[in-house]
Structure 1
Amino acid sequence: MLTLRRLAVIPTLRCTLRCRLCCNSVPLYVDPPFLPEREVASDIHAAFSLVDRIEWIQLVGGEIFLYPKLAYLIDAIREHRAQFDRLILMTNGTLLPPPGVLDALVALGPDCEVQISDYGPLSRRVRELEMLLAAHGIPSQTKVFYGDMQHYGGWVDNTSYDDRHWSNEQIEDIFGNCWQIKMRNYHMYQGKLHACIRSLFGLDLGKIPVPPEEYVDVRDLSQSREEKRAALARLADRPLTACRYCGGFDTLRAERFPAAEQLP
């Protein structure tokens, strides 16, 4: 049985903030697009066709509430209701949901959640959003990322894509202590499904020479379903090329920094 603990689907990298330590490398993108909703929905259907179950499927950005066809994607995910435990939307608290989103979430019932990152004055719609969701019976969770009690102590600085020239032993250490790998957190953007978010964006930005065997392209018609399933099952089993370009996502040892510091 092939189960993904978490799959984060990214329909856009547009954002209302320009965070210096953004783990999705949003500041490196100039005018990122809204991916066509039918294209993203097709990727979602393809991903579900490869696995038996996804515990958490997430829609993330960028800022997910900027995406105008978000309700369409939620409805596409709902078609696979028997294959996932929970749908999670992640927002930075700067916007309210676009039209149709509340109704689409209500249709899912209690098995959805909006996770709100509260960056203090930057997240000006947090309280309003919390009340709106509560009024519709939609579960939400707010994580504080400002002041002295930041969630997980703040953010990790892993913005550099420089080759660190790690030894094999150091690469094994980075891989073995990576929280993304330990938690089996997968990400998909433009049909490419990775076990590592830096691998995904490093490839997309042309910063890391990620070989094809280190991700699954759900749009690739040259591979059979069985070949893609086999590749997906082993994505997180060994160090990745991206580990050479990584300072480490170690929740215990990595230095923490205040979240959401803005670039000019």
Structure 2
Amino acid sequence: MEKTKPFQAASMVQGQPVIVYGASVFGELAYYALAELGITPDYFCDRARTGTYFGVEIIHPEKLDQLSGANIIIASCDYFDEIRVQLMGQGCHNLFDMRSLLSMELPKDRMTERAKAMYAYAQVYDDVAEHQGMLNFHRLQFVVTERCSLRCRDCMHLMQYYKKPQDIDLDASCRQFDHLLSLVDNVSELRVLGGEPFMNKDVYQVLDHYAASSKIETITVYTNGTIVPNERNLKSLQNKKIIVNISDYRHNQERIRNVIAKFEECHVKYFLRQYDSWQDCGDISERGYTKEQKEQLFMNCFERGCYTFYKGQLHRCPRSVHAMNLGAMPDVKDDYVDFSDETLSDDVLTKQLHKLRAKTWIEACNYCSGPDIWSQSVTPAIQAKQPLAYVNQYKN
């Protein structure tokens, strides 16, 4: 199947419009990069947005049937292949990726915080474009603990509901994740997280093991910056393949300064991201959505490409993982691939992986208000005094 090529002004088809497919964070980066080249896109294209973006009209993908000769830049990382296949099905063949645009020096002082974060991880987009058409995961989360040093009321990963959180059995999880790796072509970014990952003093086992994997391009450890890692974990964090993403919720800045000072001393790569808002997913009660409502929620969800590996299971959504584990929703086996089931053959597991990737909704959507990046924002990291109550009706 035809692949995209890195965008170059000289490669454009003259007389045809320039369209940036993706009116979100990568669309923002594409806009700034094109501006550096003296180019203003004629349109943005997006399935979930209307109106304008940076003053440029946003069109729906259906309109591309009439613009099949346009120069189209795919400004999405999570859904790169999905968009590429869709565009080719509509007869669009002048398809470009952003690899060359992301290598440019862009004006960080004008970027949103999300755009700065994605610009810092430009190599992940590069890797996705390089492996297009393959069984590649853009971002894959590896949960190492349910424990957290904070109890954020609106945590979409549902840590606020755990009364007795536990560390994950890393030996078993690594063995099962190795099985997953044996069946895929590539993982662009492995995200190691919890909870708070440094609550698990042995997280170095995961870092060391997967930093040595040729199938994993980069590893990001996501922390709230409240814990200075122990010396053994700090040693592992010095690997050039690893970067630590520190979430700054404004109220934990003193502890963050201590963490950063240690990282500077030990030459650990890190990225500090400040959060002004979160998306409100609501509680984990059943909503009673129709299939069409769940599909719409899933389509607009910025986490629908966020595969999460937890206790041997690969889920499409971090909320799904923990809602099932807590018993707040039923155990829907069709919504994950279970690598802890040693009776399943590689052929069966591979078919299940493709089926999981092709899903247009999951049952967890019925227990969520939808983390749409354009709405439902709440103040980040509001602390609950005790674990939140929920109805445990599906787990003994």
TM-score for both structures, normalised by structure 1: 0.89
Distance 2:159 2:300 in 1: 25
Shift of 1:123: 4.4
Are 2:249 and 1:119 aligned? Answer: yes
Quick check: 1:25–1:159 contact (8 Å CA) kept in 2?
A: no
1:2 matched to 2:135: yes
Q: CA deviation at 1:48?
A: 1.4
Q: Distance in 2 between matches of 1:22 and 1:29?
A: 12
Equivalence for 2:21 = none
Q: Does 1:96 align with 2:228?
A: yes
Does structure 2 conserve the Cα–Cα contact (< 8 Å) formed by 1:179 and 1:250?
A: yes
| Structure 1 residue 192 corresponds to structure 2 residue 192 | no
SS of residue paired to 1:56: strand
* CA distances 1:66-113 after superposition (whole Å, capped 9, x unpaired): 111011111121231x1011100011011111231222122x31x211
Name the SS of the counterpart of 2:251 in structure 1: helix
Q: Which has the larger radius of gyration?
A: 2
Identity %: 29
Aligned to 2:372: 250
2:336 partner letter:
Y
Task: Show structure 1 runs of 4+ deviating over 6 A.
Answer: none
Supply the distance in 1 between the matched residues of 2:326 and 2:379 (Cα, whole angstroms): 25
Separation in 2, partners of 1:91, 1:247 = 25
CA RMSD across the alignment: 1.6
Contact 2:177 / 2:339 at 8 angstroms: preserved in 1?
A: no
Aligned equivalent of 2:215:
83
Contact persistence 2:226–2:259 (CA under 8 A): no
User: Could you tell me whether the CA contact under 8 Å between 1:92 and 1:123 is conserved in 2?
Assistant: no
CA distance in structure 2 between the aligned counterparts of 1:53 and 1:97, rounded to whole angstroms: 28
1:168-200 CA-to-partner distances (Å, cap 9, x unmatched) read 33222111111112xx21111111110112221
- 1:238-258 residue CA offsets vs partner (Å, 9 max, x unmatched): 211112222112112x21011
| Contact 1:210-1:241 within 8 A present in 2 as well | no
Distance 1:72 1:168, change over 3 A: closer
Which stretch of the first structure deviates more once superposed, 122-131 or 195-204?
A: 122-131
* 1:77 counterpart SS class: helix
Aligned match of 2:181 in 48, 54, 69?
Answer: 48
1:203 deviates by 1.1
Partner amino acid, structure 1, of 2:143: I
Task: Name the counterpart of 2:294.
Answer: 171
1:140 equivalent in structure 2: 270
Separation of aligned partners in 2, 1:98 and 1:228:
37
After superposition, the C-alpha distances for 1:126-171 in whole angstroms (9 at most, x for unaligned) are 12222322333322111113xxxx1xxx112224122212233322
- Distance across 2 between alignment mates of 1:226 and 1:180: 27
Gaps of 5+ in 1: none
Distance 1:129 1:37 in 2: 24
**2:342 is the counterpart of 1:212:** no
Q: What SS class does the counterpart of residue 243 from structure 1 fall into?
A: helix
Distance apart, 1:235 and its partner CA: 1.2
Match of 1:240 in 2: 362
Equivalent-residue separation in structure 2 for 1:163 and 1:250 (angstroms)? 18
Offset, 1:17 = 0.7
Greater relative contact order (CA < 8 Å, ≥ 6 in sequence): 1
Secondary structure, in 3 states, of the residue corresponding to 1:124? helix
What one-letter code is carried by the residue in structure 1 that aligns with 2:169?
P
Q: Secondary structure at the match of 2:187?
A: strand
Normalised by the length of structure 2, the TM-score is: 0.61
One-letter identity of the residue aligned with 1:101? N
Task: Tell me the matched-pair count.
Answer: 251
- Residues 11-30 of structure 1: pairs in structure 2 closer than 5 A: 11-30=144-163
Displacement, 1:226?
Answer: 2.0
Counterpart position of 1:61: 194
